[in-house]
Amino acid sequence: MLSRSIALALLVMMIFPLSFAFAKDYVVRKIIDGNTIQLESGETVRYIGVVPPDLNRKEGGAEFYARQTVRYNKKLVFMKKVRLEFDTKKKDDNGHILAYVFVKKTFVNADLIRNGYARANVTAPNVKYRQALLDAEKKAIADDKGLWLEKKKDTETYYIGNKRTSGFHRPTCKSVEKIPEKSKIIFHNRSDAIKIGYVPCKACKP
């Protein structure tokens, strides 16, 4: 009986890294991008169902809201204890561990999507939280959150950008009064601002 138990333990260790076989919480030591992290143990984890804007495109630089997504991901999990939950498929084609990530009561995968930092992409066989992720995306679209602001139609004849913060505002926004003249830049439409990396003001929501 004892030899069987040992054999089973060895099998588990072969299938999963040692840290995943015995640990309950994992500390995040590095943020790789908007949906990928590295744990203290060295394992790389990708969030299931989460597709962030591309931070490292070969042409054209980072996609709209990519840097904001990385910063938000860092705020959620960096140097924090996370709980990982798995689905049917445990690893992607690059050998990264696939997981649903939780920090206390915060469901990180859904939080990123709900706040407009990423899109939902739920594909079989990992569909455990399919509805939760799709509902989070619907909420972000309805509220014009984050990356969904990119396609929003123009509501002003021009917008005022801040060269120092890379944010842009409606002409009537109170923040415009605080921008030094040398830091102002005029955009005739939202698309021109977004193309060069400017982000809509969270207060006036241009």
pLDDT tens column, 104-118: 999 999 999 999 999
**How large is the average pLDDT for residues 34-59?**
92
pLDDT band at residue 46 under the 50/70/90 scheme: very high
Number of domains in the chain: 2
Q: Give a yes or no: residue 96 inside a domain.
A: yes
Query: Do 135 and 161 reside in the same domain of the chain?
Result: no
Q: What share of the chain is helix, strand, coil (3-state, %, to 5)?
A: 35, 25, 40
Query: Do 50 and 99 reside in the same domain of the chain?
Result: yes
Q: Which amino acid is at 11?
A: L
Q: Give a yes or no: residue 9 inside a domain.
A: yes
Query: Do 184 and 111 reside in the same domain of the chain?
Result: no
Domain that holds residue 54: 2-145
Q: Over 95-112, what HEC string results?
A: CCEEEEEEECCEEHHHHH
Q: Give a yes or no: residue 206 inside a domain.
A: no
- Strand-pair category, 184-187 with 159-162: antiparallel
* Predicted local confidence at residue 199, as pLDDT: 87
Q: What is the pTM of this model?
A: 0.75
Query: Do 15 and 55 reside in the same domain of the chain?
Result: yes
Mean pLDDT, the chain, integer = 88
pLDDT digits (tens, 9 = 90+) for 17-33: 444 444 468 999 999 99
68 Cβ contact partners less than 8 Å away, ≥ 6 residues apart: 117, 146, 199
Q: Give a yes or no: residue 205 inside a domain.
A: no
Query: Do 14 and 79 reside in the same domain of the chain?
Result: yes
- Strand-pair category, 167-169 with 159-162: antiparallel
